[in-house]
Amino acid sequence: MNFIQQLHAAQTLNDSLLCVGLDPEPSKFPGAWKGDASRIYDFCAAIVDATKDLVVSFKPQIAYFASHRAEDQLEQLMAHIKRVAPSVPVILDAKRGDIGSTAEQYAREAFERYQADAVTLSPFMGFDSIEPYLRYRDKGAILLCRTSNPGGSDWQNQRLADVAGQPRLYEHLARLAQTDWNQNGQLGLVVGATYPAEIARVRELAPTVPLLIPGVGAQGGDAEATVKAGWRAGAGGREGQGGPIIVSSSRAVLYASAGEDFAAAARRVALATRETLNAARR
């Protein structure tokens, strides 16, 4: 199964549009684990175990592991997810972007070392910086398009004077991801939940590509508006009818409780968020 097929299958199996982001921050860990970076795996595995039947995807953020020299724990975690939730695709959030020869190494890191099913990428350096990832035919490459942070508009909202119709940069990218760049149907786009009007615009320009939508929860994105903007009737039910949406939340789920009940609390928030997302599409 390729990444898109995995997404469709997980969305149906778990009846979910929710992605739980794994951004482990030891200073926020409960009880005796607080401040202990050697517990990153244990913390994330507990969250995975508590939410694995509620999600369309998991999304570990590589910086939260690398900054603590915990790459080995990320490897362990990826193996754990494959073991306990083999139907749930994993998106490695790495936001890589470099020339082709270096991109080959990043692609090997994401897909061979960590066994990710998809990776987030910055498209700033152009198509030849994306192409090495596409050689892994079953894997997904999710391009930053209209990001959730306010500063995203510094570049992404600029109009391109030399392209017909003067689209904004993010609109041009959405069009490329739907057409010329999407040579084997592997591309997805990141659009922030904090900008529902732009989600709708991206969905219009890229009707079938998966949209990864972070920003609900801690960043205050509106879950209902997100779904109304990005979801199309029939999407995800059967392939070819519309691109899946993957609505991601990290801190609001991971740190729902600072106590020993953190995993149960994470499950409660994940359940409630899944319900909100589902209600908005029905």
Burial class (CB in 10 A: 0-12, 13-18, 19+), 35: exposed
CB of 85 to ligand OMP, least distance (A): 19
**C-alpha 181: how far from its chain's center?**
19
The least distance separating ligand OMP from the CB of residue 238, rounded to whole angstroms, comes to: 27
Q: Is 28 a catalytic residue?
A: no
Coil, helix or strand for 6? Answer: helix
Residue 58 CB, shortest distance to ligand OMP, in Å, is: 12
Summarize as ranges the residues that interact with ligand OMP (CB under 6 A). Answer: 21, 23, 61, 93, 95, 120, 147-148, 190, 192, 214-215, 217-219, 248-251
Strand order in the sheet with 187-191: 57-60, 18-22, 245-249, 211-214, 187-191, 140-146, 118-121, 91-96
- Residue 32 vs 220, nearer CB to ligand OMP: 220
Residue 163 or 197 with smaller CB distance to ligand OMP:
197
Catalytic residue among 28, 95, 139, 228: 95
Which residue is it, tokens 């391109």?
Answer: 160
Can you say whether the dihedral through the CA atoms of 115, 84, 20, 209 is positive or negative? Answer: positive
**Calpha distance 89→116 (Å, rounded):** 8
Active-site positions read 95
